[in-house]
């Protein structure tokens, strides 16, 4: 960040009083510009024991399969964000059942939050960011065509949890150089 978003003045790198990191600071108005992780929220959307996946029509990972998810917006809850992203990407309305998976991805500054959800009336389609969407049974999952490690981890958790009929919250940190999310 080169310019202050408050007053437009050129920022400088400085460690603010009481802080422990170098930040972009505006010497004109004193605004400290923090760069914080982005929250990705989405849904493990289910219908009759099948999982809804979307084939991405955007980068990164164009053409690969993912769960409907995206950046949380201001003035919405994580649940509202997950429902909105599902509506935008898969043209599906969902009933949020529970917080299901959370992934810390510090390497790229993201927090990935997925909710176990039921598709209302079984209706879905393909939004502007989606080539196609489809319901998959476990044996049909295109494991080698999944867009992100977080999607694979969530699906593996779900199918194992379904066998055990217990759906605990899964909290993990993803961090190898091969991990990518979006």
Residue 10 pLDDT > 90, yes or no?
yes
User: What pLDDT shows up at residue 180?
Assistant: 44
SS3 helix, strand, coil % of the chain, rounded to 5? 25, 35, 40
pLDDT band at 179, cuts 50/70/90?
A: very low
**Check whether domain 38-173 has CATH 3.90.79.10, yes or no:** yes
pTM of the model: 0.89
User: What pLDDT shows up at residue 176?
Assistant: 57
- Phi-psi category of 155—alpha, beta or left, where left has phi over 0 and alpha has psi -120 to 50? alpha
Q: What ranges do the domains of the chain cover?
A: 1-35, 38-173
Q: What is the pLDDT of residues 98-117, one digit of tens each?
A: 999 999 999 999 999 999 99
Query: CATH for 1-35, among 2.60.120.10, 2.40.50.140, 2.20.70.10, 3.30.70.580?
Result: 2.20.70.10
**Which segments of 38-103 does DSSP mark as H helices, in order?**
78-90
What is the Cα–Cα distance from 106 to 96, expressed in whole angstroms? 26
Q: What is the pLDDT of residues 20-59, one digit of tens each?
A: 999 999 999 999 999 999 999 999 999 999 999 999 999 9
Mean pLDDT (whole number) for 81-107: 98
Q: What is the pLDDT of residues 116-166, one digit of tens each?
A: 999 999 999 999 999 999 999 999 999 999 999 999 999 999 999 999 999
Provide the β-strand partners of residue 115: 43, 99
pLDDT band at 175, cuts 50/70/90?
A: confident
């Amino acid at each position: 960040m080169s310019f202050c978003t408050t007053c437009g003045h050129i920022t400088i790198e400085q460690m603010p009083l009481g802080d422990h990191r170098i930040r972009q600071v505006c010497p004109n108005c004193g605004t400290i510009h923090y760069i914080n992780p982005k929250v990705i929220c989405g849904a493990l959307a289910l219908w009759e024991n099948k999982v809804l996946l979307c084939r991405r029509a955007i980068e990164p990972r164009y053409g690969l399969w993912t769960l409907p998810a995206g950046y949380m917006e201001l003035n919405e809850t994580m649940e509202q964000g997950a429902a909105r992203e599902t509506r935008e990407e898969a043209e599906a309305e969902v009933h949020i059942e529970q917080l299901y998976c959370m992934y810390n991805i510090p390497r790229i500054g993201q927090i990935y939050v997925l909710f176990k959800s039921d598709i209302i009336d079984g209706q879905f389609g393909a939004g502007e960011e989606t080539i196609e969407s489809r319901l998959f049974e476990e044996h049909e999952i295109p494991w080698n065509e999944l867009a992100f490690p977080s999607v694979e981890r969530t699906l593996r958790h779900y199918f194992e949890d379904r066998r055990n009929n217990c759906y605990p919250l899964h909290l993990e940190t993803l961090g190898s150089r091969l991990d990518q999310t979006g």
